[in-house]
Structure 1
Amino acid sequence: MANSANTSTDQPTALITGASRGLGAAVARELAPTHRLSLGARTPQALASILGELPGATGWPVELTDYAAVARAVEGIERLDVLVHNAGIADLGTIADSSVAQWRNTLEANLVAVAELTRLLLPALRAANGHVVLINSGAGLRANAGWGVYAASKFGLRAFADALRLEEPALRVTSVHPGRIDTDMQRDIVAGEGRDYEPREFLTAETVARAVRNAVQTPRDAHPTEIVLRPIAR
């Protein structure tokens, strides 16, 4: 696995997907002082900025829906303490206007790819009695109009977490359900809604990342199964 800013070989290891920007990058910053990091994104170029900021981390560029490439990318990972599933897409719209391609692409990115990466890394996670953190959404608890496709993927992700928790009792599995977060993706969503963007309406990525860090650092006598965060208007 990667070397972190603190290169002690007895540090726990962490792999974070979707780590090039936004919430994933914020989680990387939170875990960097205590973990050896591998940071995932689609391309090496996407990781250049965060790796420049966290030079002890290692890039892990792979397209998560290219399952042959993912299988090659996990070769050599024999022990993994923390797996943070942050990568995903938000393709919104009504059910009436949805397409088969939209359903397939969303479920593939937000659910199938998560399940396959987790499956491939189970031996490494078991070796460490590891922790799987799944960045879900408020849409994984309640679906709203215009969010049906996305919500279905996140409801599925929650079910995946629940099943994994039961099937792998040596692992800790945490579903994090944040409300809407101030990120570039959120700006695109709000633009699509035809509204002005007000960052104060949303959670900060740093707040959600700190919740992830707190879950990871929870003493081993406790299992943080679900974390729900909602923004407070500022």
Structure 2
Amino acid sequence: MPTAMITGAAGGLGSALAEALAPTHTLLLAGRPSDRLDAVAARSGATTWPLDLADPDSIAAAVETIDELDVLIHNAGVSYPGRVAESHVDEWRATMAVNLIGAVALTLELLPALRSTGGHVVFINSGSGLRASPSLASYSASKFALRSFADSLRADEPSLRVTSVHPGRIATPMQEDLVAYEGRPYDPAEFLSPQTVAKVTADAINAPRDAHIHEVIVRPR
């Protein structure tokens, strides 16, 4: 089976992505070691892969043994809700470190492995990467930059497929934090389920080889 690496696999969407791709791919679940990551790996028959996206200098050593990779899914992300005037530079640094710089560093290190298979790089972006969201300044900025990186990668690496997925708000713990910041009750039924976004992403990955899906936009009904 083809091999796929998923970052941020311990989270709600990451776990759903692992479940959706387990029947068709050998999975490497990349992230900081944790009981949650181990549990996702056990359920999906996957291998955990220690990786800290917040420390880009450590990434080369972490993935140096990977010679071939069919799919790389950038799912890891952080957000710090707050209006621009409430934000801090340290929050901007932390957001960019994981959401952008970590993704860039990992992609660069794995380019030879991806080129060897004519692989597929998938960026789980956000509606905030198309239109800035209120009270999410640093997050929106990081997602706009991530979309630009995906577009540049697609233009510069014609042997690869590169897809940006822009979901609306998803029922995840990150969403709970945002709703709490907004001061209203959390109802997961208002949002996309992680399983829905994972299914849409898996469909793009499993599309016939002559199909190159550049962008997927999915919103709650």
Q: TM-score range by the shorter chain?
A: over 0.9
Alignment of 1:26-41 (within 5 A): 26-41=16-31
Counterpart Cα distance in 2 of 1:195 and 1:40: 33
Unaligned runs of 5+ in 1: 1-10
Counterpart for residue 107 of structure 2: 118
Q: 2:38 aligns with which of 48, 57, 65?
A: 48
Q: 1:61 aligns with which of 50, 53, 64?
A: 50
Counterpart Cα distance in 2 of 1:13 and 1:144: 34
Asked if 1 retains the 8 angstrom alpha-carbon contact of 2:9 and 2:75, the reply is yes
Counterpart Cα distance in 2 of 1:149 and 1:66: 19
Cα deviation, 1:149-183, whole Å, max 9, x if unaligned, reads: 11000000000000000000000000000000011
The alpha carbon displacement at 1:145 in A equals: 2.3
Counterpart for residue 174 of structure 1: 163
Asked if 2 retains the 8 angstrom alpha-carbon contact of 1:174 and 1:224, the reply is yes
Counterpart Cα distance in 2 of 1:119 and 1:206: 29
The alpha carbon displacement at 1:67 in A equals: 2.3
Aligned-partner SS, 1:206:
helix
Cα deviation, 1:190-218, whole Å, max 9, x if unaligned, reads: 11111101111100000000011100111
The alpha carbon displacement at 1:41 in A equals: 2.0
Structure 1 outlier segments of 4+, above 2 Å: none
Counterpart for residue 227 of structure 1: 216
The alpha carbon displacement at 1:26 in A equals: 0.4
* 1:21 paired to 2:7: no
Unaligned runs of 5+ in 2: none
Q: What is the identity, as a one-letter code, of the residue corresponding to 1:12?
A: P
Counterpart Cα distance in 2 of 1:187 and 1:144: 16
Alignment of 1:33-112 (within 5 A): 33-54=23-44, 56-112=45-101
Q: What is the identity, as a one-letter code, of the residue corresponding to 1:154?
A: K
Counterpart for residue 7 of structure 1: none
Q: What is the identity, as a one-letter code, of the residue corresponding to 1:113?
A: G
* 1:151 paired to 2:143: no
Aligned-partner SS, 2:84:
coil
Asked if 2 retains the 8 angstrom alpha-carbon contact of 1:23 and 1:209, the reply is yes
> TM-score, normalised on structure 1?
0.92
Identity across the alignment (%): 55
Q: What is the identity, as a one-letter code, of the residue corresponding to 1:173?
A: V
The alpha carbon displacement at 1:52 in A equals: 2.2
**What CA RMSD, in Å, does the superposition of the two structures yield over aligned residues?**
1.0
* 1:132 paired to 2:111: no
The alpha carbon displacement at 1:68 in A equals: 3.2
User: Mean alpha-carbon deviation: is it higher for 92-101 or for 164-173?
Assistant: 92-101
